Each structure stands twice: as C-alpha cells, then as structure tokens.
Structure 1
Amino acid sequence: MAKMTMVGKIPTDRWNPAGLEGDVEFAGEGVSLADMVLGFFEEGEGLPERCGNDGENEDGDGEDGQNSGGEVEKKAFWLEQDQLLKGILCRSSSLESRIRHDTEQALRESRSVGPVCVCPRPVTGGCRNCLLRDVSERLRNAGFESHICKSKWRRSPDIPSGEHTYIDVMATSAKKAMVRVIIELDFRAEFEMARASPEYNGLIDHLPQVFVGKAERLRTMIKILCGAAKKCMKENKMHMGPWRKHKYMEAKWLGTCERIAPVPLFSTGFSDRQRKLKASMLTFDLVEKLPSLHCTAVEVV
C-alpha cells in the first residue's frame, strides 16, 4: 500500500524566497504586465454591463437599434477574450516548454504501462492520485524537482470549502532565478460546463489538455476564463455555481498548499523486519511439540 507523507506547507500567497520571480504570489499582491492589461477582469465585474443587452432588453423588448448595438458589443467581447487567451497561451518560456515536453513524455510512458492503482481500495482503470504520483516520480527521474501539491481552502461567504491536487516543479530559469511551474494534467476539464454558449466553448477548445506554466500566466488565464464563464451564464440566464467563481478557481492552484513527499508508486510501506511465520490452528500443537518432525513421501506401487 502506497503511503504519502506531508512534509510541509507552502503558503503561496506569502512564500517568496530570494530570487523567485513572483510566481507564487497570491492574486492581488503583485502587479504584472498581464494584470495591468487585464485589470478590468477582476472577478468578472463590469463585464455584463458593458456587453450586450443584459438589462431590461434581455427578452428583445427594446428598440432595434439598442438590440443591434448589444449584439455588436457581445461579438466584440468574445473576440477580445479569444485574442487575449491565444496570446497568453503562446507566451511560453524555454523552461516551460522543456518541462511540458518531459511531462507529456512521462504521461505517454505511464499510459503505455497501463492504468495502475495501488490505493487501499484500488480503482478500476487507475486513479488520479496514482497517476499524479507516477508522473511526478518520472519527472524527478528526468532531473526535475517535482512534487505533488495539495491545496485546501475553507468555506467563505463567496465560495464553499474544497481541495485540489496537482504537480509543481521548482526549476532554475535562464536568469538563474528559482521559478515555480504548475502542472495540471486535466486542465481543460476544469473549465468545461454543460449548456455553454458556442462562444465560451470556442475559448475552451483553445485550452491544452495538460497545462504547464508559471503561476502568473495561469492567474491571468483564470481571470479571462472566469470572466467569460460569468458572461456566458448571464447571457443564457443561468445561475453561476460558486465552484466556478474566480476566487474558487484561484484557490485550486494559487492558494496555500501542502507538498507531499515523493514515495515510489509501488512502495509497500512495510518495514524490513522478518515477518513471523503463521501456523494453522490445526497443526499448532504438532509444530510446537514436534519441531523436528519430517514427512517422507512413500511411493505406492
């Protein structure tokens, strides 16, 4: 049975060792170029008011000129989000590209072996925790300082409590500074939703299945996607669940987390002590009283 040992907490909203490129600051504590450009996306506020006929004209009761203007603004909004998201996805450093290549290679190797689950109650087809541990171990074998991170957050008036597990890598950038790179193996699924509009689904189609990137780039992507989700929900007159809110999504990867000490996937967790021999109750007296008793086979003709 595999064991995972918690070795320490990383409050990513406070932790910032010397030389770290600001990748682990929580939202709001650092100002980057991406945040300046996308500052108006904070919590998605202000987006519905400036885009489309979200007020009294939702049912098409307004004047034709107003409805026409709302459609133009709506198209402009989604086009802007599409361009911003594409620009961020294309912004990848050589370090991120190298880690992404090795992560994809680790996934291919893991899948070629087949789904393996060594949990106390094995899951048919494998489980996420065992896959994360296997990929993280392969990244460590490739020379990266890789860990499994478990984020956990409490309930607040805005969002419910929750937890999430992912991988991170601490590496040295070209500028000789320590950089934290976040790895999410099922990134696209985190933002998919039922009955979404074609415009929102178009944004999701741009997302990679496996995300590998620095925290600052992920933070900006979350702002865009959560703002777009809020706009989509309002256009379709649907309630937006709290688990889709900006603060909830940020807490998954950018909040306080615990690092799990790497443990080999097939570790049994047993000590090296010699296991005691077990005897059946039917033969207990014989073993106890006749330790030298031997049975010889007799050939029957």
Structure 2
Amino acid sequence: MAGAMARIPVIRRSSDDILEFPGSAVSLADMVLGFIEQVEVSPENITSGSDEDEENSFSVEENKAFWEEQDQLLQATLCKSSGIETKIRQATKEALRDINSSAAEYCVCSKPVFGGCRSCLRNELCNRLIDFGYNCVICKSKWRSSTSTPAGEHTYLEVLDTSSKRGEIRVVIELNFRAEFEMARASENYNRLISWLPEVFVGKAERLRALIKILCCAAKKCMKEKKMHLGPWRKHKYMQAKWFGTFERSTPGSLPVRFANGPPKPKASMLTFDLLEAMPGLHCTAVEVV
C-alpha cells in the first residue's frame, strides 16, 4: 500500500563477521536468527562486554583465588610445630640418616630388595626411635568397602606421647607422604600445591587431619576443572581411613598390642568355651581318660 507507513530499515550482517571471545571465534550468523532490527540504543544501556565474558572472567579470578588460598592454608599448616613434634621430627631425621649411611643391610625379607624395602625400613626406624626412648609403634589400618569407599589397608608409624597434661598425643610418621596425594593427570595448580609437601611427614594427628582436608578439597577442584571423575580412593573419606580408621598397633617382630577404636571382638575357642554354662540343659557323661 502506497500510503502505508514505511518500514524500519533493517540491516543484515554477513556471516563473515566474527566476534572474538576468549579461546574461541563465534560467527554472528550462528548467534542471530533472521534479521536484526536497527533500533536506537541509549548510551547508558551500552555495555562493554557480554555476559559470557563476565562469567569467564569471574571464573578465572575465582579459580586463582581458590588456589592462592589453598597454598596459604597448606604452608601455614606445615609451618606450625609443637615442641614434641620438633623433637620427634629431629629424631626421625637422625635415624634415617644413620640408616642410609650404615653399611649394614636392614632388609631382612626372604627375598631382600636392593636398597631395602619400605616395610623393613619402617621396622628399622621404629626400633631406632624406641632406642631413642620414644614409645613408637607400627600401625596398620584396615577398612571395609562401602557404597562410596572401596576396601583398603595402610601401614605407618606412630609415636605416643603421654607426658602431656592433655592426655595421650598421637604423632604420625608417614614415610611416603607426598606420594599419597600425587595424581598422574593433575593440573599445574595442584602439582604446585603438592610440591610443598615433605616426603616424610612427622606431625600430630590434628595437623594431619587439617592437611588431608586441604589436599582432598584441592584434588576435587582439580578434577572438576579438568572435567574428570575423581576416583573414590582420592576422596576425603578414603584418605581419612588410612590414618584415622580402625587400626592395630604392634612393634617390629611382635603381635599386635591392641586395636584402636575399641578392643577386638573375642573369639570363641573349645579351649575356653564353657559348654555347660552356655547350655545348662546339656547332659554330659563322664569319660575316663586312660
């Protein structure tokens, strides 16, 4: 119609127009369906970037802040040390130095490993700490599988200090501490965090709990960033079970001395089980022993 109101002019962008976003190139033709009407836009409504730009920028800053915070927490936890921890740590260093420099072979396995195996090294270190006057024991933890945690077991050393007025203090000695948290496909941020860990850890149980919480949180974040599944053996509950689950204490060459978290369940034996007491209705005929 001749008298009809003139249509608002429209502009169609070519598919060759490209918008640059961090890490990608997006075509305008893929972003807009049909035509874009040219309308007047007030200056106050003009923004310098898209929502996606802002989200990506926020994500980068958030991740950076997270890893910086984990670094600070980890270093602060590692740097703290009580008097008993310092003494046991120094004794452990001296014992390991003597073992490494000694010409005597400490591996007494049926098939000795060149340079010594970790089990015999643990036994030898335990004996030397006992010689130094410390109440050192070998702890072996063991836990059953559950819906979220696979079964497993772990062995480490522990020094029990009873001189404190607060009661018994557990000081854990882990000879392979850093390796317990290493991951093959970890991110650069996670590997940098792990690099702060000592190869041999000597510290109170409370300090170890704090470190496990920090490291497991970092492992979860690392796998989320890489869009990978976090194995159940890397989760907080599994790592806690290694050092804080039900365990038995023993000394080198001896039987377990006691179980933590309660005594072991008594086992019935024909040598100690009183049948007449348990089964009062049972009639027994005396038998002459020749």
TM bin (shorter chain): 0.5 to 0.7
Structure 1 residue runs of 5 or longer lacking an equivalent are: 1-58, 265-301
- Which amino acid in 1 is paired with 2:153? E
- Could you list the per-position Cα deviations for residues 84-106 of structure 1 after superposition, in whole angstroms to 9, with x for gaps in the alignment? 11111111101101000001111
Q: Measure, in 1, the Cα distance between the counterparts of 2:166 and 2:73.
A: 29
2:134 to 144, 154, 173: 144
Bigger mean CA deviation after superposition, 137-146 or 117-126? 117-126
User: What are the Cα deviations for residues 234-253 of structure 1, in whole angstroms up to 9, with x where unaligned?
Assistant: 11122211111111111111
Please give the TM-score of this superposition, normalised by the length of structure 2. 0.67
Match of 1:177 among 167, 180, 186: 167
Query: Are residue 107 (structure 1) and residue 73 (structure 2) matched?
Result: no
Aligned residue in 1 for 2:65 = 76
Q: What SS does the corresponding residue of 1:150 show, helix, strand or coil?
A: strand
**Does 1:217 pair with 2:173?**
no
Q: Deviations over 1:205-250 (max 9, x none)?
A: 1111111111111011101100100110111122211111111111
Which residue is equivalent to 2:120? 130
Q: What is the root-mean-square deviation of aligned Cα atoms in Å?
A: 1.9
Q: Distance in 1 between matches of 2:204 and 2:218?
A: 22
Residue 206 of structure 1 corresponds to: 196
Q: For structure 2, which runs of at least 5 residues remain unmatched after alignment? A: 1-22, 27-50, 255-290
Distance, in Å, in 2 between the alignment partners of 1:123 and 1:184 is 20
Aligned residues of 2:126 and 2:251 also touching (Cα < 8 A): no
CA apart distance, 1:197: 1.1
Could you say what secondary structure the match of 1:263 adopts? Answer: coil
Secondary structure of the residue that 1:186 maps to in structure 2? coil
Aligned-partner residue type, residue 97 of structure 1:
T
Q: Distance in 1 between matches of 2:106 and 2:125?
A: 12
Match of 2:228 in 1: 238
- DSSP-derived class of the 2:127 partner: helix
Alpha-carbon shift at residue 193 of structure 1 (Å): 1.0
AA aligned to 2:227 is: K
SS in 2 for 1:63: helix
Shift of 1:151: 0.5
Query: Corresponding residue for 1:192?
Result: 182
Pick closer, same or farther for the CA change 1:176–1:63 going to 2, 3 Å. closer
Deviates more, 1:200-209 or 1:135-144: 200-209
Higher relative contact order (CA 8 A, sep 6+): 1
| CA apart distance, 1:261 | 2.8
Conservation of the 8 A alpha-carbon contact between 1:95 and 1:173: no
Q: Distance in 2 between matches of 1:261 and 1:78?
A: 41
SS in 1 for 2:142: strand
Opposite residue 130 of structure 1, the aligned amino acid is: C
Using the TM superposition, give the Cα deviation of residue 176 of structure 1 relative to its aligned residue in structure 2, in angstroms: 6.3
Structure 1 counterpart of 2:243: 253
Offset, 1:116? 3.1
TM-aligned CA deviation for residue 195 of structure 1 = 2.1
Identity of aligned residues (%): 60
Moved more, 210-219 or 170-179: 170-179
1:186-216 deviations in Å (ceiling 9; x for gaps): 1111111112111111111111111111111
Q: 1:155 to 1:176 in 2, by over 3 A?
A: closer
> Partner amino acid for 2:152?
G
Q: Which residue, 248, 256, 263 being the options, matches 2:253?
A: 263
Report the equivalent of 1:159: 149
Q: Secondary structure at the match of 1:213?
A: strand
- SS for the counterpart of 2:202 is strand
Task: Give how far 1:120 is off.
Answer: 2.3
Return 111-120 or 239-248, whichever deviates more: 111-120
CA contact (8 A) 1:186 1:209 kept: yes
